[in-house]
Amino acid sequence: MKNVFTAAVISMLALSVQADVIPLDAKAIDLGNISNAETNMAVIKDFSFTRTADTPKKVTIKYEVNFLKEDCTQYEVQTEEIPEFKKVVCEASNGGSFLCEEKIFSGLYNAKTECVAKGSTRLSSKGEVVLNFSKAVKLAPGASEVVSVNLSQKNMNEESTKAVGRVEQSHSLYEVKNSRFGKNQINYKAL
């Protein structure tokens, strides 16, 4: 009875781990907004992906993160009075003389929206990381590997994230490096 219970717990744990693994079955995978909107804390998340023989050589992982920006948080409408004023307006006439007359311009009120308080506002920023498997081991049909990517922000004032890749489960050895050129890319190279 004890062995049956232990086997049931192990199989439930295995299923829960498998449920969080995302298959790499398209050239682009959108994770959506990965920030926690309730706590408004910097992102530090791990994502696991299953690589198979059908996985493209390059897969773009797209995501959004929330960040804070200093901006206006309260506005008021201010009215500005422009009083009535007079001007002498002249027009040229025949013979080089000018015909001048005094004109009265009525006053008016201009309404302007002005910032009266500054603070933090929450915005979202789109990001992406490319998983490059062009130098990875070619997998046989039915074989799979599990790779993971850690996405993290330094703090909530940063709109960018840092991506770090790892190989979690594989029958091969890999060197995993972030590309120094171009966009955010993680290269998986078989040793």
Q: What is the pLDDT of residues 124-171, one digit of tens each?
A: 999 999 999 999 999 999 999 999 999 999 999 999 899 999 999 999
d(CA 27, CA 127): 16
Contact partners, residue 153, CB within 8 Å, separation at least 6: 42, 43, 44, 65, 67, 160, 161, 162
**Do residues 14 and 20 touch, judged by C-beta distance below 8 A?**
no
Q: 145 and 133 in contact (C-beta within 8 Å)?
A: no
Report CA dihedral (20, 147, 46, 126) to the nearest 10 degrees. -100
Section 55-74 average pLDDT: 95
Could you count the other beta carbons within 10 Å of the beta carbon of residue 25? 14
Q: Which whole number is the average pLDDT over 62-85?
A: 93
Q: Which tens digits make up the pLDDT trace of 7-60?
A: 443 444 443 344 489 999 999 999 999 998 888 899 999 999 999 999 999 999
Counts for the chain of helices (H) and strands (E), in that order: 1, 11
Digit-coded pLDDT (tens) for 80-102? 888 999 999 998 888 788 888 99
**Euclidean distance between CA atoms 146 and 48, whole angstroms:** 7
Site of tokens 């120094």: 180
Q: For residue 182, what pLDDT is reported?
A: 60
